[in-house]
Amino acid sequence: MVQNTTLLDHVAIVLVRPKFPENIGAAARIAWNMGINRLIVVRDSLPDREAMAKMATHKAAHLIDSMEVYPDLSEALANFTVVVGTTARRGRQRFVTQTPRDMVNTLLPQLKNNQAAVIFGPEDTGLTNDDLKYCQMSSAIPTADFSSLNLAQAVAIHCYELHYGIIHAPKNMHHSPQLATSFELESMYAYLEKMLLKIDFMEKVSHTYWMSNIRNLFSRMQLTSKDANIIRGVSKKFLLQQKIPKSGEDGEL
């Protein structure tokens, strides 16, 4: 079972717009205790190191020093091929959520050939629909009644389930191929959205709803880089063709 712990190197914890540096430090301590050594923070400015390090303790202080900080989520996720969003809220634009344990079971076959990010939202609001659009799956911690948990508590539960699931993963597990990166998918979605608007498949006022459903559809299909590039290429070619005037007509390329 020890050999499976190397899969933890393919997992990163991503904190999106955390408000308190102490929670970042606590998350670092938890992640390190569970064998996860990559921590990413999406925030405009670098939080106070002393406050973070105090909660991380000297055992996980190196995670604070090696922590990656990005100004926006799209940049932070650019090279990840699997993104999991954590949420306590539900809505028609959101994924069907799984428990952390079920999410890990779904994620396990993808880890060998992919880099996974598990993202957590701000303490007061959680992840927005715009944040969740980058995700291929979502996870919600089942509770008896009051659904709100402290950020560090939510990180702890997910890190434990990742650690437990990975060290107990079956040796003969089937592994999924390498999937398209978030950067490749976002480029594909941008061209696809323009094309669908061009052919009036969806109205501008409701295109966010339609794109959310389209993203959910492709997420279930687990697109590879080749798949994403084909869809992007078709959409781009169509848009270019719309700019080419027919014979005998005036127009601009």
Residue 95's pLDDT is 57
The confidence score (pLDDT) of residue 201 equals 87
Average pLDDT over residues 19-45: 96
How large a percentage of the chain has pLDDT more than 70?
Answer: 89
The 8-class DSSP code of residue 171 comes to: T
Instruction: Give backbone dihedrals phi and psi of 69, rounded to 5 degrees, phi first.
Output: -125, 130
Q: Which two tokens stand for residue 65?
A: 């020093």
- Within 10 Å of residue 196's Cβ, how many Cβ atoms? 16
pLDDT tens sequence across 206-235: 788 889 999 999 999 999 999 999 999 999
Tokens encoding 225: 């880089």
More confident residue, 22 or 90: 22
Sheet containing 11-16: give its strands across.
68-70, 39-42, 11-16, 116-120, 82-86, 137-139
Q: Which of 10, 16, 35 is nearest to 179 (CA)?
A: 10
Structural domains in the chain, sorted by start: 2-167 (3.40.1280.10), 182-243 (1.10.8.590)
User: Among 36-40, 134-138, 172-176, which stretch is predicted with the lowest mean pLDDT?
Assistant: 172-176
**Above 50 in pLDDT, residue 2?**
no
The per-residue pLDDT for range 86-132, each reduced to its tens digit, is 987 655 445 567 999 999 999 999 999 999 999 999 988 899 999 99
Residue 134: name the closest of 184, 200, 60, 92 by CA. 184
For the chain, percent of residues with pLDDT exceeding 90: 72
In tens, the pLDDT along 150-167 reads 999 999 999 999 999 999
